[in-house]
Copies of this chain bind each other. A is one copy, B any other.
Amino acid sequence: MSTKKRRQREFVERESRILAKAWELLERDGLLKLQMSRLAEECEYSVGTLYHHFSSKEDMLLALATEQVSERLRLFEKVAQWQANTRDRMIGFLFADALFARREPLFFHLQQYITTPVIAAAISEERRQLAIEAHRPLAELFLSVVEEAQSNGDLGNTTLSPLQLGLGLWALAEGMHTLVHAEGLSEPYKVSSPYSLLLNHCHAWLNGHEWRPLYPLNDLQAQAELIDRVRREVFDVIPGVDAGVLFPQPAQGAL
């Protein structure tokens, strides 16, 4: 009985050891150079063993990305607990997202890679389910704030469900990440501080939905102050947060 449990535990432990090493290799050599045989070598396990854990390389990559979600969740939880109105918390989520994107740029590469249909095709159903499970609390946290806003009247009356509403902001952020990380085609359209820009567009979107309190769009000062408040009141406890780089103070009133 207990032997079986010990085995299971050891199996799980080994899995996270493998993933830790994989992440290390990823950071060192990049996604392109990550190969299963080298990973096996570095872990001091055989390739076969790797394949007892993961049905394919892509499967492992999704496992890797899924592991990171808990870190992201930690940031989101801080925002959800923040004593602030719903609109400010929405901006807080955005901050968390941008923060995470900056600290773990690899995560976004990985995410983009494994959600590409060609690549995703090689992922096992189980792993996909695990990933969905892992993401659920993240989505719930986010959507609960949307619901709160709807029920307490922060929002103008809308015909959209919380999910439909939330997807708007989600898409906006996702799209900006995509444009920021897209290789090649977007070079001529690069912009100096994409996340400040995103922030401004999010305020536009929130104003458009009459999400109160409204922020005047061209008052960049007020937007910067809000960001500063998020940083101080939510994220300052977390070491290594560099909001100044993400959201540089606007010079002479322009982005």
Contacts and interface: CB of A to CB of B under 8 A. Distances in A.
A220 B121 CA distance: 37
A55 interface: no
A120 interface: yes
A71 to B, nearest CB: 17
Contacts of A204: 168, 205, 208-209
A254 B159 contact: yes
A32 interface: yes
B167 A171 contact: no
A114 B182 CA distance: 9
A109 B118 contact: yes
Given A164-B197, A172-B172, A197-B167, A123 B159 contact: no
B116 A184 contact: no
B116 A112 contact: yes
User: Is the contact region of chain A dominated by helix, strand, or loop, or is it mixed?
Assistant: helix
Interface string A122-149: 0100001001100110010000000000
Interface of A: 31-32, 62, 109, 112-118, 120-121, 123, 128, 131-132, 135-136, 139, 156-160, 163-164, 167-168, 170-176, 178-179, 181-185, 187-189, 191, 197-198, 200-201, 203-210, 217-218, 220, 250, 253-255
Contact of A198 (B62, B112, B171, B209): B171
A175 to B, nearest CB: 3
Contact of A160 (B136, B156, B182, B255): B255
Nearest to A200: B160
Lowest 4 A-B CB distances belong to which pairs? Answer: A175-B175, A204-B208, A208-B208, A171-B175
Nearest to A160: B255
A58 B136 CA distance: 35
Given A160-B200, A179-B170, A254-B159, A115 B185 contact: yes
